[in-house]
Amino acid sequence: MGAESIQRVGVVGCGLMGSGIAEVCARKGRSVTVVELDPGALARGRSRIETSIRRAVSAGKLSEEEGEAALGRIQLVTDIGALGDSQLVVEAVVEAEPEKVRVFEALDKVVEAPDALLTSNTSSIPIMKLAMATQRPEQVVGLHFFNPVPILPLVEVVASLLSSDEAIERAEQFAVDALGKHAIRSKDRAGFIVNALLIPYLLSAIRMMESGFATPEDIDTGMVKGCAHPMGPLALTDLIGLDTTMAVANSLYDEFKEPLYAAPPLLARMVDAGLLGKKTGRGFYDYSSGEAKVAR
């Protein structure tokens, strides 16, 4: 089963990542079934997809007909049993190992084709831990997309010790040939390539701010104007989500026990307070006015 033969895609989770993955697959001609148990989250995901596709049409990236066709290929449901005939499933639920393990246990029961690819969009959790929740670990591969999925081209392809060579090749072919993404391969270590490099940088910026060494504006401006980064580390943490950043940091620390992966106290307190960044309207910056201002 090559990339072109994968026509039925399942996505579990309809948050920022799940909705973006569903949109990209539908825009590339795949039939997509999205499962989200929370009806409210499902409605928000539907709205997010519709808004994104309308934006692509307005920007001339899609015609009106292509936009309507893409929307017509997406089915949003609350029953994971609807994924029974999927040829590839992407798990994109919250970055928490117990939740993801439960999804893979369920997928193993409902996905009928023994050669279907069961993939995870996890940004940090070792794929082996998810694969062992199934009776077909050789078919489990990491496919880590980046936010926003319709814009950023990268996908990390992550193989566990038990992933078959065929499954790895098919997953990469799907990402590259079917979706037009750029794939890089990573060993199955917490954080993979990008987050193993990125998270210590973000945590260092938070510690710098927490210690009073520099203001958020100066930290971010320094990296944008001095290093040509498209956005500073604190603004990027707000975009990623402080909860996601801390979850990835915890996964890295659990695996490596390196101090550079330990979440700073300020990050933990902000997550406890629900100040999760752009998605909640406030993190290191306040987004309530429509433009980012330093949160006081």
Q: Residue 154 pLDDT more than 60?
A: yes
Separation of alpha carbons 51 and 190, rounded Å: 33
**Are the C-beta atoms of 105 and 133 separated by less than 8 Å?**
yes
Q: What is the reported pLDDT for 180?
A: 97
CATH number at 173 reads: 3.40.50.720
Q: Is residue 238 part of a domain?
A: yes
Q: Is residue 20 part of a domain?
A: yes
| pTM score above 0.85 | yes
Average pLDDT over residues 9-34: 97
Same domain, 213 and 69: no
Which has more pLDDT, 284 or 3?
284
Domain boundary among the residues 186, 218, 250 is at 186
Same domain, 163 and 203: no
SS3 264: coil
- CB within 8 A of 103, min separation 6: which ones? 12, 80, 91, 93
- Number of domains comprising the chain: 2
121 is catalytic: no
Q: What is the reported pLDDT for 295?
A: 72
Active-site residue, from 52, 86, 123, 163: 123
Same domain, 103 and 55: yes
Domain boundary among the residues 167, 186, 205 is at 186
Same domain, 92 and 178: yes
Active-site residue, from 19, 124, 144, 163: 144
DSSP symbols for 44-71: HHHHHHHHHHHHHHHTTSS-HHHHHHHH
Q: Is residue 296 part of a domain?
A: no
217 is catalytic: no
Domain span at 66: 8-186
Q: Residue 1 pLDDT more than 80?
A: no
Domain boundary among the residues 186, 206, 232 is at 186
Instruction: Return the amino acid letter for 229.
Output: H
1-5, 26-30, 142-146, 202-206: segment of lowest average pLDDT:
1-5
Q: In what order do the strands lie in the sheet with 117-120?
A: 74-77, 31-35, 8-12, 88-91, 117-120, 140-145, 154-159, 182-186
Average pLDDT over residues 128-152: 97
Q: Is residue 2 part of a domain?
A: no
182 is catalytic: no
Q: Is residue 235 part of a domain?
A: yes
Same domain, 236 and 267: yes
Q: Residue 170 pLDDT more than 90?
A: yes
Q: Residue 290 pLDDT more than 80?
A: no
CATH number at 251 reads: 1.10.1040.10
H helices of 174-290, in order, are 194-210, 216-227, 233-240, 242-256, 265-272
Same domain, 151 and 200: no
195 is catalytic: yes
Q: Is residue 3 part of a domain?
A: no
Whole-number Cα distances in Å, 253 to 117, 124, 125, 185, 239: 29, 11, 11, 22, 22
Active-site residue, from 91, 97, 156, 172: 156
